[in-house]
Structures are given as structure tokens and as C-alpha cells.
Chain A
């Protein structure tokens, strides 16, 4: 019998909660309202992971025991990944790191973690995506291309929907602005609201905008029509409810000068009401930051020494993979595919454990692979959306594997 289920999509950090899935005999047949990313998530891996030790198939209990042995024997184990896991798996992971006296870090370490830190510390104001839909009239995408990274972003929240205070929709009530180094799909939709700037000049352009907001004519080191920047400042000033979606393009460009975000939002808020939302990619990247913050007071890059958490750049996944880590547990990530080869190449020389539902590039070099259920498809829990709202996610079908949370709890028992 076919059953129609309402589902929260875990394809990206938008966590769309209006997806309809038809299921028959524990098998997913069709999915409605989900974009291609959501569809790919629903229909799962190309190749399912299997339990292996040094490439040979093994019993699940044996692989868990072997993983525990590797982590117990290591002096400096690194637990990394976490952005495709539920908050409950994060809690188990933090407990494992504490038990081992190890280091825990997530993909947010080189992604939007720095932006989440600015929000959680209160330096930068934020708002929910529902507020964006109901109220936002000026929407700025800076170094972000949601039409490629979060396909339903503009249709569900930020531009096209009719909101309570934006009944005339995008045609008359909303202005979309894209500031980017190239004309992305999002920039094409923004039409005249697209401002192309040279790569690496985001900070300078932002400072120029702060000047323009104060009524001064900015001086820029690159060729840019001053009239356009003054017009942009005037548009930003006129907003009733503005929102800045900060993409990785912006964050990578200003990461050495991240306090500029608070300066910019403060400058905007002298004239209007502005908030910032980080364009988190993986469905629960922000959840890891929130859970770790709640448990340790830090958002990422944490080492446990005698049960006490300390944080610093030396405990980042990048620094640890380059030199210090002598064993790595990767949960729901593919560092060999996502990190530069100069950093990830060391993974083949140190003991590597991978917990993932799918086969990937990293599983080819992993000493131990432990298959887990896919979060949001075969296992439920909670996750944090890109705007910081905690969402319930539910399993759709019964899987054959344990959840990553359960696997980590088993490893903790073995490490004991």
C-alpha cells in the first residue's frame, strides 16, 4: 500500500519541511516539492558502504571493536565531519572526544563556523527564515549563489513568496541584490541588482559601502562606478527589513577581518533593521556549532584535556591533518574529495576510520569503514537550520544499518 508522508528534507541546510514522499513497502517511490538536491538525498547513495577492515569485508561488531582499538591506542585522535549527522550524534561524538582526550572539529572549521561564532557571540544580529519570508524587502546575497547551492532558497523564503508584509511579492515588494565576483544564477535573477567586484576585494567594497552609507564618496582601488555604489547604499538605507545572506565567497574573502561583518551590520542598522544569515551548506553544519557551544562554550576546534575543553586554531582539522593527528575518525564527510590534496594526503599514512552510509573517495583509503543509516532517511533526530532554528527530522524508511549516533555510543562502550 502506498502511503504519503510529509517529510523534512536533509538535502541542505534549508531543511524544507513541506516535502511529500510516497512510500510503498518500505521503499520510496516519489518525492514532491523537493529540488534535485533533496531528490538525490531521498534516493540515497550510488553505492552503499559495507563494514570493512583494511578493505576486507568484516562483521559489524568487529569493525566497531577495531575502530575503538585504533582510537584508544592513539595519543592525538581527531574526530571530524559531523555536518551530515543529527544533534544527538554530535552529543555522542563530543562524549567520545572527552573520553579519549581527543580533538573534535567539523567541516564548519573551514566553512561558516566563523560566521556562526559572530552570531552566537551576539556581535552580529540574525533572524529566522520565516521573518525573511514575511517581512524582508531588501535581500542581499554576498558571495552566495543559492540558486546553485540551496535551490529552494529564493522560492521558499527569500525572494519570490508573498509574505505577510510583502503581499505584492517580488515584483514590487522585494529588491534582491547580488554582490559577487561572477554572474551566478542568483545574480541573473537579481538583474540590475548585481554588483560584480574583483576577487578578494569584498572587504574593500564593504568598507566602501560603509562610507557610502554615511554619505561620503568611497575611494576604491579597483575600477567601479561610484554612482552605482552610492545607489546601492541608498537602496540599502531605504529597507524596512533587510537581510544579508553571507556566502562562502564573502567569508573566505574577509575571514582575516571577520569583525567587519559586525561593523557593516551596525552601519546598516543605523538606518534600518538588518540581520545576517550564514549560507550553511550541509544540513546540520550549524547544529554541530550549537551543540558544541552548549556543551563546551566553543563552536569548533576543541581539544579535551583532563575532561576540560580548550579551543584554538591549532586544533582545527586543517592543522591536525597536516601534522599532529595520529588517528582520524571521519563521520559523514569525504575529506579526500573536499579538502586540498596537500592536506588530506596524510590520511593514507595514519589510521583512518570512516562512518558513512555511502562509499566515497575516503572509504577507498580508510582502514576501517562502518556503514551507518542516512540521517533524515533511515534515522531521525534534531538538526539546526541555517538560521539557527532547531527542526525535528524523521526517518522515512527502516534501514539495515545502525545510526551514526548508535555506532559512536557503541565505540564509547568499547573504549570504556
Chain B
């Protein structure tokens, strides 16, 4: 999983404030949360010495662009559509006890996970236990995934 220090190490670390943030660390936080893009760092874009760092940042930040509000990322290329996450998610079990909770396909639209065309898709992400003021670091969908196709950033 991408972490804040990994991003920070690839920034110029000069605290030039040209991006509008007070420090490069603050800009790294904004990049990880998905509110800013790395192209908004002028030195990184203009100065040739940062070209390697720029390419690495582009690569590690790519999954974050597709992240849901909860930070949920599904790597579709890794997903085998096994549905472990669909059945293991406590929200799915609570909202669809006779469908997802029993291992069959979802019987309503209140669930978070659903497998479509062999790949898991997320919906209703605000229902996720990682969202809202009482959020917890739930890993119920991550641990049962045999291919590590789900992560949170």
C-alpha cells in the first residue's frame, strides 16, 4: 500500500510553497488524499532533475485516482471474482442476510460489493465501516481476498 513517506521522499522537499501548500509534507498528504495532483508541483514538472521522481510518483499515485471516498481501491486486474469480499463484508451481511450473507448473489441494492462480469465492483461506499465519524479500521474485505485485489489508501 502507498504511504505518506513514500510520496514525500519523491517530492523536491524544498518547501518552496509554489504549490500553495506550506510544506512538501502537506502537499504529500494532499496527494495521498486525492485532493491534489502531482502535476500541481511546479518544480517537479519543470526541472529535469526530478524526472525519475515524477515517473515514480505517477506510477504509485495511479491507483489512488480510482479510489472511492473511503479510500477503497479494487485492482480489477487481480480480482478473480471469487466473491469472498461480498460474503465476508459485515455491512453486506447486515443489509442482505439471506443473499450475500448466505453466500449467494446479492438480493438487494444495499450491499457494498457485487461481482459483475467476473470482477468485484463497489457501491454504497458510504455504508463502509471505514467511513463517517464512527469509522473503524475494518479489514473484513481485505483479509479474505486471495489475490490482494482490495486495498485502502
Q: Which residues of A contact B (CB under 8 A)?
A: 18-20, 30-36, 38-40, 133, 147-148, 151-152, 154-157, 160-163, 169-170, 185-186, 188-189
The 10 closest A-B pairs by CB, nearest first: A161-B103, A39-B118, A33-B105, A185-B146, A35-B81, A151-B82, A155-B83, A36-B118, A147-B146, A160-B87
Contact of B117 with A39 in the complex, beta carbons under 8 Å: yes
Asked if residues B80 and A35 are in contact (CB atoms below 8 Å), the reply is: yes
Task: Check B103 against A133 for contact (C-beta < 8 Å).
Answer: yes
B81 near A36: Cβ-Cβ < 8 Å: yes
- CB neighbours of B87 from chain A (8 A): 155-156, 160-161
Q: With A18-B104, A39-B117, A156-B103 given, is the CB distance from A33 to B83 under 8 Å?
A: yes
Which among B83, B86, B144 has the greatest number of chain A C-beta atoms within 10 A? B83
Contact between B118 and A31 (Cβ–Cβ < 8 Å)? yes
Contacts A18-B104, A160-B88, A162-B101 given; does A32 touch B82 at CB 8 Å? no
Apart from A38-B118, A155-B103, 15 more pairs, CB < 8 Å: A20-B105, A31-B118, A33-B104, A33-B105, A33-B106, A33-B114, A35-B82, A35-B115, A36-B81, A40-B118, A151-B80, A152-B83, A155-B86, A161-B101, A189-B146
| A35 & B146 in contact (Cβ 8 Å cutoff) | no
A169 touches B93 (CB 8 A): yes
**B49 beta carbon closer than 8 Å to chain A:** no
Q: Which residues of B sit under 8 angstroms from A147, Cβ to Cβ?
A: 80, 82, 146
11 A-B pairs whose Cβ atoms sit less than 8 Å apart in the complex = A18-B104, A35-B80, A133-B102, A155-B83, A155-B84, A156-B104, A157-B103, A160-B88, A161-B101, A161-B103, A169-B93
CB <8 Å contact, B103 and A160? yes
Report how far A162 CA is from B88 CA in the complex, Å. 9
Please report the total number of B residues contacting A with Cβ < 8 Å. Answer: 26
User: How long is the Cα–Cα vector from A157 to B83 in the complex, in angstroms?
Assistant: 11
B116 within 8 A of A: yes
Known contacts A31-B118, A35-B118; A161 and B82 CB within 8 A of each other: no
Query: With a CB–CB cut-off of 8 A, which chain B residues contact A39?
Result: 81, 117-118
Complex CA distance for A183 and B93, rounded to whole angstroms: 29
Partner of A162, one of B82, B102, B105: B102
- Bound-complex Cα distance A369 to B104 (A): 39
The smallest C-beta distance from A113 to any residue of chain B, in angstroms, reads 27
A108 and B106 alpha carbons, distance in the complex (Å):
34
Q: Is B97 an interface residue (CB 8 A)?
A: yes
B127 to chain A, nearest CB (A): 18
Residue in A33, A148, A161, A186 whose beta carbon sits within 8 Å of that of B102 in the complex: A161
Q: Is A155's CB under 8 angstroms from B118's CB?
A: no
How far, in Å, is B27 (CB) from chain A's closest CB? 37
B147 contacts A by Cβ under 8 Å: yes
CA distance A33 to B119 in the complex (A): 9
Which residues in A have their C-beta under 8 angstroms from that of B101?
A: 161-162, 169
The docked-state distance in angstroms from the alpha carbon of A20 to that of B104 is: 11
Q: Which residues of A contact B83 (CB under 8 A)?
A: 33, 35, 151-152, 155-156
The answer to whether B80 touches A162 (Cβ under 8 A) is no
Given A36-B118, A162-B93, do A18 and B105 touch, yes or no (CB 8 Å)? yes
**With A36-B118, A147-B146 in contact, do A154 and B82 touch (Cβ < 8 Å)?**
yes
Q: Which residues of A contact B80 (CB under 8 A)?
A: 35-36, 147-148, 151
Q: How far is the CA of A35 from the CA of B101 in the complex (A)?
A: 17
**A34 proximity list for chain B (CB < 8 A):** 81, 115, 118
